[in-house]
């Protein structure tokens, strides 16, 4: 108690110091690592379920110095990118059409709401039959996964657009393409960027999940491969890299949304 009080007062007194929140985070991480290391040496758990940090680090170095890993990373990144591009643009188009048309909304939006939260992995067997076991089926599942959140958030974004702006566009005789490019999309830039962020997450999950199910390349494949050969340090090393990369990608999309000219309201 006394300790935390002193920490806070020093932090407030000297702004150059590390803030209490950051300090707490560091403490949590260090504690976690310490417990991990302790468990790995304790022998309480079955061999290698919790490998030593040193061995994970070694595996990480081994991973990052071999070309094979980068090849598979590239495959997965390409799959996710394609999935987001295909599923995302379809989602945006469907969202705009639904949002612009009350009749279609009534007819079709319930399906989106029911299908949206369904785990898309249940369609994987069908996708395999259509697209085979190669990267195509991973792209398909990733695209399917990110289609729904994007379509729904774009449709909702469309309905939030100030109606008078649409009337301004019509009064100046903008055609449909101009309405979409110069009014709908910029007017819903905030929900749109949020949707893309959400869609990216779903594309990532869908693609990786598909790779772990049935595949012969990609990060998901490597991870599940390491798991089945019980190479735990390697598996953890890959999880760490994946974690860091997805945080980075998410931050990048967030930055895109933070650009001054887009943010203006």
Partner 1 sequence: MSAPAADAQLNDPVLSVDKVSVRFETREGPVVAVDDVSFGVRQGEFLSVIGPSGCGKSTLFNVIGGLLTQHQGTVSVAGETIDGPHKSIGMVFQEESTFPWRTVTDNVAFPLELVGMAKAERVERARHFIKLVGLDGFDNRHPGELSGGMRQRVSLARTLASKPKILLMDEPFAALDEQTRLLLGDKVLQIQQEIQQTTLLITHNITEAVQMSDRILVMTYRPGRVKRIVDIDLPRPRTSEIVSSEAFGRYVAQIWADLREEASRGMREAEDQVLHHQGAES
Lay out the site mask for partner 1 across 146-165 (x = CB under 8 A, - = otherwise): ------------------xx
Measured in whole angstroms, the distance separating CA 258 from the mean position of its chain's CA atoms is: 18
Angle, helices 189-213 vs 124-131, to 10°: value is: 80
Tokens of 144: 């399917």
Residue 167 binds partner 1 (CB under 8 A): yes
User: Given the complex with partner 1, which of 77 and 166 has the nearer CB atom?
Assistant: 166
Pick from 174, 180, 198, 241 the residue near partner 1 by CB under 8 A. 174
As measured in angstroms, the least distance from the Cβ of 257 to partner 1 is 13
Residue 256 binds partner 1 (CB under 8 A): no
How many residues contact partner 1, by CB under 8 A? 19
Pick from 26, 168, 252, 256 the residue near partner 1 by CB under 8 A. 168
Residue 214 binds partner 1 (CB under 8 A): no
Q: Considering only the stretches 83-91, 146-154, 176-184, 220-228, report the one whose residues sit in contact with partner 1 under the rule CB under 8 A.
A: 176-184
Residue 264 binds partner 1 (CB under 8 A): yes
Report the chain's terminal Cα–Cα distance, integer Å: 45
Asked if residue 76 lies in contact with residue 211, where contact means CB atoms within 8 angstroms, the answer is yes
Q: Count CB neighbours of 218 within 10 A.
A: 26
Tokens of 28: 């949590």
| Residues 6 or more apart in contact with residue 216 via CB below 8 angstroms | 133, 134
Q: Which of 91, 82, 139 is nearest to 115 (CA)?
A: 91
Lay out the site mask for partner 1 across 180-199 (x = CB under 8 A, - = otherwise): --xx--xx-x----------
Pick from 19, 132, 170, 216 the residue near partner 1 by CB under 8 A. 170
Q: Which of 76, 53, 56, 52 is nearest to 64 (CA)?
A: 56
Residue 118 binds partner 1 (CB under 8 A): no
Residue 178 binds partner 1 (CB under 8 A): yes
CA distances from 58 to 109, 154, 181, 233 (A): 51, 45, 51, 8
What are the residues binding partner 1 (CB under 8 A)? 164-165, 167-168, 170-174, 178, 182-183, 186-187, 189, 261-262, 264-265
């Amino acid at each position: 108690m006394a300790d935390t009080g002193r920490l806070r007062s020093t932090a407030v007194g000297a702004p150059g110091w590390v803030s209490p929140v950051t300090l707490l985070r560091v403490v949590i991480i260090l504690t976690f690592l310490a417990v991990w290391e302790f468990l790995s040496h304790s022998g309480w758990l079955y061999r290698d379920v919790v490998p030593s940090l040193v061995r994970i680090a070694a595996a990480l170095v081994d991973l990052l110095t071999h070309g094979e890993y980068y090849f598979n990373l590239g495959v997965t990144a390409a799959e996710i990118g394609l999935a987001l591009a295909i599923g995302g643009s379809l989602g945006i188009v469907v969202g705009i059409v639904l949002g612009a048309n009350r009749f279609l909304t009534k007819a079709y939006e319930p399906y989106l709401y029911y299908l949206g939260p369904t785990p898309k992995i249940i369609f994987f067997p069908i996708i395999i039959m259509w697209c085979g076991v190669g990267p195509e089926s991973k792209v398909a599942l990733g695209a399917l996964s990110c289609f729904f959140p994007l379509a729904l958030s774009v449709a909702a974004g469309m309905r939030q657009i100030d109606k008078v702006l649409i009337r301004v566009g019509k009064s100046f005789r903008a055609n449909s393409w101009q309405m979409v490019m110069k009014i709908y999309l910029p007017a819903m830039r905030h929900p749109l960027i949020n949707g893309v962020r959400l869609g990216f997450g779903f594309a990532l999950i869908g693609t990786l999940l598909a790779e772990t199910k049935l595949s012969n390349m990609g990060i998901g494949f490597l991870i599940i491969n390491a798991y089945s050969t019980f190479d735990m340090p390697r598996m953890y090393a890959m999880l760490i890299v994946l974690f860091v990369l997805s945080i980075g990608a998410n931050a990048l999309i967030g930055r895109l949304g933070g650009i001054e000219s887009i943010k203006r309201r």
